[in-house]
Amino acid sequence: MHISADRLDDGEVSLRLYRAVDAPQLFDAVRDERAWEHLPGRVPGDFGELDADVRAKVADGQRLTFVVRRAEVVVGRTSILWVPSAPDGVEIGGTQFDPAVWGSGINARAKRMLIEEVFARGAAWIRLQTDERNHRSAAAIRKLGATDLGVHPDVRIRRDGSARRSRHFRLDRPRA
């Protein structure tokens, strides 16, 4: 499946493919410690480190990262990840928002745009996952209509040194 959209827009909320020039605004949007609470790995100290991290993750071509804007102000990021062992589906993840917009519906709007785009491009299913401790994220995923597949071991290590366990969800393409 090929996704070539470099911008998705629903009026107030837009998603644009990440570019290095987005790093300062993205860093400002997610600099609050709460935005990193459930993400494994080190928190970047500045926008240059954030840019290097994003570019490293997209370098292998298995991920597209989008910057999420509300009325042209950067409020977060989200990604589409290809699962090489399962080419009929994708994962939507790597999502992170400024805590100031939590609960505002922006995450749901961004996810709906990605879901529509991915299914329009032929995906049979979408996987979503979150740290088992991130109940807010799990609730948001359930609101999208995804089926909860339970908690599974993960290879990533949380910043507190514990092994992450992830709650997995699946959303199947609607039947025509």
Confirm whether 49 is domain-assigned.
yes
Rounded percentage of the chain residues whose pLDDT exceeds 70: 97
In which domain, by residue range, is 104 found?
7-172
Query: Which residues of the chain carry a pLDDT beneath 50?
Result: none
Please tell me the pTM assigned to this model: 0.92
Confirm whether 2 is domain-assigned.
no
Please tell me the predicted confidence (pLDDT) of residue 4: 63
Please tell me the predicted confidence (pLDDT) of residue 105: 95
Q: Which residue, chain included where needed, has tokens 């049979």?
A: 124
Reported as a single tens digit per residue, the pLDDT across 5-56 is 688 999 899 999 999 999 999 999 999 999 998 888 789 999 999 999 999 9
Please tell me the predicted confidence (pLDDT) of residue 126: 97
Please tell me the predicted confidence (pLDDT) of residue 92: 97
**What CATH number does residue 72 fall under?**
3.40.630.30
Please tell me the predicted confidence (pLDDT) of residue 157: 84
Number of domains observed in the structure of the chain: 1
Please tell me the predicted confidence (pLDDT) of residue 96: 96
Please tell me the predicted confidence (pLDDT) of residue 97: 97
Confirm whether 137 is domain-assigned.
yes
Please tell me the predicted confidence (pLDDT) of residue 2: 59
How far is residue 28's CA from residue 25's CA, in Å, rounded to a whole number? 5
* CB neighbourhood size of 59 (10 A): 9
Confirm whether 1 is domain-assigned.
no
Please tell me the predicted confidence (pLDDT) of residue 46: 96
Please tell me the predicted confidence (pLDDT) of residue 57: 92
